[in-house]
Structure 1
Amino acid sequence: MLDVRRLRLLSDLERLGTIAAVAAVHSYTPSAVSQQLAALEREAGVALLRRSGRRVEFTGAGRVLVRRAATVFAALEETTAALAAVREGPAGTVRIGAFPTAVRTVLPAALVALGRDHPALELSVSELDPVAVPRALSDRRLDVGLLHDYDVVPAVIDPAVESVPLLEEAVHVAVAADAPFDTFADTREVDWILAGPGTLCHEVALRVTRNAGFAPRARHHVDDFDAVLALVAAGQGVALVPELATATLPDGVRLLDAPTRRRTRIGYRRGASDHPAVAAVVGSLQEAVR
C-alpha cells in the first residue's frame, strides 16, 4: 500500500520542481526527502523518477501517480470534513489568507460575525498576495484564502484548490483632481505608478495599457493602494486601483473608468467545502460582501 505522506512529497516535487524546495517546505533535509521518495518507488514497484544531471524528472508512471494523488488528497479532505461534521458545530483553528484591501474592508465584519455565531472557532488572518494562496493552501499553511484575477489576466486553475465567487468589482484609473484629461486613453502621455514587477497588479497594468495601444511610463513602483492614492494626490502619476481600495478616497484624487474588472474568489483545498469550519468562514465572507 502506498504511504500517503510519501505520496504528498511526490506531489510537492511535481509542484515545486526540486527536492531542495520540497525539503524546505516540510522542514526535512534533501537526503531525507530522497529516501522517502525511494521508499515510495519500492511501494509502487516501478520507477517514478529518473536523474537528469543534478535534477530529477518524472517517469511516465510517476506522472500517472501524481495525477491520481490529487484524487487521493481530495478524498482525505472530504473524509476529514465528514468527521468534523459529526461534532456539534464549527470548531478549531481556521487560518485565513487575504490581500490588504480585503483585510481592511471585508474581513472585519466577517470576523465579528464568526466570533459571535461560532465561538469555538479560533481564527487567524495572514496578509498574503493572492498569487501565493494556492501554494499556502497546498502546504497547509492556510485553510481558506482569497484569490483574485482580472478579465485581462484570467486565473490559472490549480487542480488542488476549489473556490467559490465572492465579488466582482470595477477597476479605476486614479488621477489627480486637476489632471487635464477625462478618459483612459489620455493616460498614455503621463507618468504611471505601477505595482512591483512580478505582481499580478503590475501585469494587469501592462496588459490593460497594451490593449489600449501604449506602454505605461513607469515613474514609481508601489504596492500599497493607500500609498498609491497619496502619490496620485501629490501629482506623481496615475494608477490602476480596484473599487475596494477607493472606500476612503483622499482629497485631490478623482477616478476614471478602466477597461477591466477584478474578480475575487474564496479558495480552499479540494474536498474541504463541506468542512463545518470552512463552510462557516465562506458563508460569513459572502454575507459580509452582501
Structure 2
Amino acid sequence: MFEVRRLRLLRELAAHGTVAAAAQACALTPSAVSQQLALLEREARTPLFIRDGRRLLLTDAAQVLVTHAEIILTQLERARAEVSALAHKVQGTLRLAAFPSAASALAAPAIAACQAYHPDLNVVLSEQEPGPSLVDLRMRRLDIALVYEYNLLPRLPHSGVELEPMLQEPVMLALPRTHPRAGAEGPYSLEALRDERWIAPRRDDSLRTVLERACESAGFRPRLDYISDDYSVVLALVQSGLGVSLVPRLVVEQLAADVTLRPVENLSLTRTVSIATRAGGGADPVVNALVLALRRAARQG
C-alpha cells in the first residue's frame, strides 16, 4: 500500500528535479524528503531512483507511480469537493494568490462582491508570482491562484492544476509622451529603438525575458539601464523620458500612467491571465463562488 503523502513527494520531485527543490516546495528538509522517498521505494519493492550527482533520476517504475499519483491526488480532490458540495454552504476561509496587477484589477473587486454575497466566506489574499503560486496550490497551501503566461515563453507547468484562461491582453511598447514617435499611430518597430535605454521589471523575470527575446528578434540586445520590482517605478521612469519598456496593458491601466502605448510591429506579444485551481476540485461550491466572481470582474474590467 502506498502512502498518499509519499506519492505527493514523488510528484514534486518529478516536477522540480532535485530533492532540495522538492523539499522547499513541500516545506520540509531535504533529509526528511529523502527518508520518505526511501520508504516509498521499499513499499514499491523495486528501484525508483538512480543517483546522478545531486539529482535523483526517476526509473520507469517511478514514472509509472508519478502518473498514478496524479490520478489518485485528483480523485481525492474530487472526493473532497463533492463532499463539500453536499453541505450546500459557502463558508469558511478561502486562500487566494494573485500577482500585483491582477490583485488590484481582478482580485479586489471579486473578493468584495463574493463576500457581500456570501458573508460567511472569508477570502485571504496573498501577492505572489505564478511559479510559487502553482507550487502552493498543488501543496494545498492555496485554493485558487491568478497566474499569467506570455506567448513567447513555454507554458507554465500545470501537473495537478487546472488553468482556465480568463483574459488575454496585449503587451505594449511604453514610450514617454515626449518621444519623437509618440504622436504617431499604429505599430512601432523595435529595431528603431535599438539605441534607446530600456527599463525592465526584476520580479517579473518572464516579462524581462520576453523583452530581451523581442529585441533580439529585431536584431539587437536591449541596453537595460533600469530594473525595478515596482511597475509604478518602471512607468515613472518611462514617463520621465529616461527610457522605454514593454508592459502588459493591464498594468498601465491600473497605474494610470501618463505614457504612450503602442503595439509592436511585426510581432504579436500577449499575456494570458488564468484562474488556477487544483485538478478535481471543480465541484467545490466555496471555490466556485470566488471563481464566478473573478470571471465577472474580468468581464467588467
Q: Same fold (TM over 0.5)?
A: yes
Give the unaligned 5+ runs of structure 2.
none
CA distance in 2, matches of 1:167, 1:55: 38
Residues paired across the two proteins, number: 289
TM-superposed deviation, 1:25: 4.0
Which secondary structure state, in structure 2, belongs to the residue aligned with residue 184 of structure 1? coil
Structure 1 residues 76 and 249, CA, compared in 2 at 3 Å: closer, same or farther?
A: same
Selected match of 1:184 from 149, 172, 189: 189
> Structure 1 residue 238 and structure 2 residue 262: aligned?
no
CA distance in 2, matches of 1:27, 1:154: 27
Who is 1:265 aligned against? 274
Structure 1 residues 210 and 141, CA, compared in 2 at 3 Å: closer, same or farther?
A: same
TM-score by length of 1: 0.92
Runs of 4+ with >4 A deviation:
none
Query: Is the CA contact 1:225–1:245 (under 8 Å) kept in the aligned structure 2?
Result: yes
Who is 2:201 aligned against? 195
Moved more, 108-117 or 89-98: 89-98
TM-score by length of 2: 0.89
Who is 1:169 aligned against? 169
> Structure 1 residue 219 and structure 2 residue 225: aligned?
yes
The Cα offsets for residues 23-81 of structure 1, whole Å up to 9 and x where unpaired, read as 44444444333332222223222221233445432222111111221111111111110
Alignment of 1:145-164 (within 5 A): 145-164=145-164
Which secondary structure state, in structure 2, belongs to the residue aligned with residue 72 of structure 1? helix
Who is 2:283 aligned against? 274
Who is 2:295 aligned against? 286
Alignment of 1:45-64 (within 5 A): 45-64=45-64
Which secondary structure state, in structure 2, belongs to the residue aligned with residue 180 of structure 1? coil
TM-superposed deviation, 1:198: 7.4
RMSD of equivalent CA atoms: 2.0
Structure 1 residues 214 and 32, CA, compared in 2 at 3 Å: closer, same or farther?
A: closer
Percentage of identical aligned residues:
39
CA distance in 2, matches of 1:9, 1:270: 17
Give the unaligned 5+ runs of structure 1.
none
Query: Is the CA contact 2:150–2:207 (under 8 Å) kept in the aligned structure 1?
Result: no
Moved more, 16-25 or 201-210: 16-25
Structure 1 residues 29 and 243, CA, compared in 2 at 3 Å: closer, same or farther?
A: closer
Structure 1 residues 246 and 56, CA, compared in 2 at 3 Å: closer, same or farther?
A: closer
